[in-house]
Amino acid sequence: MKKVIALSLGDLRNIGRDLILSISLFAPLLLTALLRFVIPVVNQYLLLNFDFNLTPHYPFILSFTLLLTPLLVGTATGFLILEEKDENLLRYFTITPLSKDGYLSYRLLSPMVLSTLLSFVILYFTNLIKINHALTIPIVIMAALEVPLMALILGTFAENKVEGLAISKAMGLFFAAPAVGYFVSASWRWMAGIIAPFWVTEAFLHSSTFSLAYIRAIIIGIVLHLVCMFIVYRRFTKSSE
Amino acid sequence: MIEVKDLCFSYSKNAKDTINNISFKVNKGEIFGFLGPSGAGKSTTQNILIGILKDYRGSVKVLDREIREIQSDYYENIGVAFEFPNFYNKMTALENLKFFQSLYKEAGEDILGLLDMVGLKEHGDKRVSSFSKGMKMRLNFCRAIMNKPEAIFLDEPTSGLDPVNAKIIKDVIQAKKAAGKTIFLTTHNMNVAEELCDRVAFIVDGKIMLIDSPRALKIKHGERSVKVEFRSRGTTENKSFQLEGIGHNNEFLKTLKENEIERMHTQEATLEDIFIKVTGRRLV
């Protein structure tokens, strides 16, 4: 526990002294406020002026926010890993009582916890739609798996922060998959399902009742996330030896 | 304290052994120097001793524990300074040391005291990103001893340091030895080895060529003679005399009596000369 506190304080320092990292952790909260206070106003405006009702799309908007949180937290974590990789700190942790495994567990699990908490804040505070609590929990956990995935992709494939920035931009493209899933009704929409975030939205859109579609999205989604994570994790530990 | 027996290691199954059947022992309270050119296997050996590389053959025991089987608590009792210091650049020197110290069970050394000792006290609140290489090296050294380790592993501890700071570090290493700590020093700097080490091992191509104390080596490999330089008729001249029976050597005594002596040196070999003679290799 003492180590976790020390590590967390260290992270807070490092994040606090980096503008981009600070912003990326504040962004989910900012987004929450936006959803709660601005979206209803926008809806009113569209309804009055264009006779367009945004309300049916609220679940999709919310599911997107649910994905954005782990993306931001995961990217911030990825940048911390890149900094530590730059300084070869991973090697140093190996020779402390923390150990390499201890460091990696902390580095990947703590932002998952943070992302999960932020997701719950977003879900309940935005108050956009009625939520089925029991069915939402597995979705939030699945979304939290994006965090280590994003972080490891950055940590493995970027050599430095500049490359990291480019890769994090490219990773944003993954989030086209849920949009394809939502806006395309033809059967080729399932092609987007090879990209993990697709299943978070898919599950969320079916989370009002316990259904086959829901359970299918949860199982495929979690398995796919874990498989991707396993592959990237192996590459990461190999590249950091 | 450290006991290595028939150690072999290769980085991959098919590759040639990087470490080829080496054995040595380091006693408690001893400073042991591991000397050799780059690529000789110094760092590999150190990485095995500190448990980074565990896939070795033979036996390696540190603090009576076989390295293959160590758990993370092993690290409570050892300290390591890698050749290239690694810190959180956005944190200050003090924050860095406090952070790393909190990874250990015991409270350890007083950090301000350590910074003071290596002349970094007034820089404690500066971020490490603003540190020079030498300052980082000193901070790196502080970190290696802050958990009061029994065994200390130092890789080129004085590299990048000016003579004054190098002397400070060397003095602390001596003090640690006096306090009964065991120090394993990896270097290709012969002067550091000569000044600090109780015994040195020469390592070339993954093999240990010899292990002995620097003094014994110098006597064994040096010429048993003394060279005298003196002023004579306005010019500097020199003569060499065998050490055997030198007190009865009339020519030697006459030279001392009748001339203004400028320098007098026994012709012992430097550690560097001995290294080249024994291994047929140059350092660096």
Single out the residue of A235, A239, A207, A237 nearest to residue A221, CA to CA: A207
Q: What is the overall mean pLDDT for chain A?
A: 86
- pLDDT score recorded for residue B49: 94
User: Which residues of chain A make contact with B76, given a CB cutoff of 8 A?
Assistant: 97
Backbone angles phi, psi at B157, to 5 degrees: -65, -20
Residue with the two structure tokens 């400070």: B168
Confidence category of residue A29, pLDDT binned at 50, 70, 90: confident
Question: Residue B90 and residue A96: Cβ atoms within 8 Å?
Answer: no
Please give the single-letter amino acid code of residue A226: L
Angle, helix A212-239 to helix A133-144, in steps of 10 degrees: 20
| B78 shares contact with chain A (CB less than 8 Å) | yes
Chain B: closest CA distance from residue A210 (Å): 45
Average confidence (pLDDT) over B114-125 = 93
Give the whole-number percent of chain A exceeding pLDDT 70. 100
CB B201 within 8 A of CB B50: no
pLDDT at B23 over 90: yes
- pLDDT score recorded for residue B63: 92
Q: How many CB pairs under 8 A join A and B?
A: 63
CB B32 within 8 A of CB B183: yes
Q: What is the overall mean pLDDT for chain B?
A: 91
CB B192 within 8 A of CB B272: no
Please state the domain extents for chain B: 2-218, 223-267
Average confidence (pLDDT) over A208-213 = 82
The ipTM (two decimal places) reads 0.83
Please give the single-letter amino acid code of residue B240: S
b/e sequence B81-111, b meaning 16+ C-beta within 10 Å: bbbbbbbbbbbbbbbbbbbbbbbbeeebbeb
| B77 shares contact with chain A (CB less than 8 Å) | no
Average confidence (pLDDT) over B11-35 = 90
pLDDT per position as a tens digit, A166-195: 888 888 888 788 887 778 777 777 878 888
pLDDT at A241 over 70: no
Confidence category of residue B77, pLDDT binned at 50, 70, 90: very high
CB B203 within 8 A of CB B37: no
pLDDT at B283 over 70: no
Question: Residue B86 and residue A87: Cβ atoms within 8 Å?
Answer: yes
Give whole-number Cα distances, B80 to A63, B70, B154, in Å: 48, 16, 6
Residue of B nearest to A100 (CA): B72
Q: What's the token pair of residue A110? A: 């703590």
Question: Residue B72 and residue A99: Cβ atoms within 8 Å?
Answer: yes
- pLDDT score recorded for residue B274: 86
CATH of domain B2-218: 3.40.50.300
pLDDT per position as a tens digit, A69-116: 898 899 999 998 998 888 889 889 999 999 888 999 999 999 999 999
Average confidence (pLDDT) over A9-33 = 84
Number of Cβ atoms within 10 Å of the Cβ of B243 = 15
| A19 shares contact with chain B (CB less than 8 Å) | no
User: Which residues of chain A make contact with B46, given a CB cutoff of 8 A?
Assistant: none
- pLDDT score recorded for residue A116: 92
| B129 shares contact with chain A (CB less than 8 Å) | no
pLDDT at B233 over 70: yes
pLDDT at B22 over 90: yes
pLDDT per position as a tens digit, B193-206: 889 999 999 999 89
CB B36 within 8 A of CB B16: no
Q: Is A68 helix (H, G, I), strand (E, B) or coil?
A: helix
User: How many Cα atoms within 13 Å fall on the side-chain side of residue A85?
Assistant: 25
Confidence category of residue B150, pLDDT binned at 50, 70, 90: very high
Question: Residue A13 and residue B76: Cβ atoms within 8 Å?
Answer: no
Residue of A nearest to B49 (CA): A95
Confidence category of residue A24, pLDDT binned at 50, 70, 90: confident
- pLDDT score recorded for residue A220: 92
| A87 shares contact with chain B (CB less than 8 Å) | yes
User: Which residues of chain B make contact with A2, given a CB cutoff of 8 A?
Assistant: 102
Backbone angles phi, psi at A229, to 5 degrees: -65, -40
Would strands B151-155 and B78-81 be described as parallel, antiparallel, or unpaired?
Answer: parallel
Question: Residue B76 and residue A102: Cβ atoms within 8 Å?
Answer: no
- pLDDT score recorded for residue B15: 79
Q: Residues near B175 by Cβ (< 8 Å), separated by ≥ 6?
A: none
Confidence category of residue B284, pLDDT binned at 50, 70, 90: low
Question: Residue B95 and residue A13: Cβ atoms within 8 Å?
Answer: yes
Question: Residue B52 and residue A88: Cβ atoms within 8 Å?
Answer: no
| A8 shares contact with chain B (CB less than 8 Å) | no
Confidence category of residue A215, pLDDT binned at 50, 70, 90: confident
pLDDT at B238 over 80: yes
User: Which residues of chain B make contact with A88, given a CB cutoff of 8 A?
Assistant: 82, 84, 86
Confidence category of residue A39, pLDDT binned at 50, 70, 90: confident
Residue from A18, A95, A106 to probe the interface with B (highest B Cβ count within 10 Å) = A95
Confidence category of residue B122, pLDDT binned at 50, 70, 90: very high
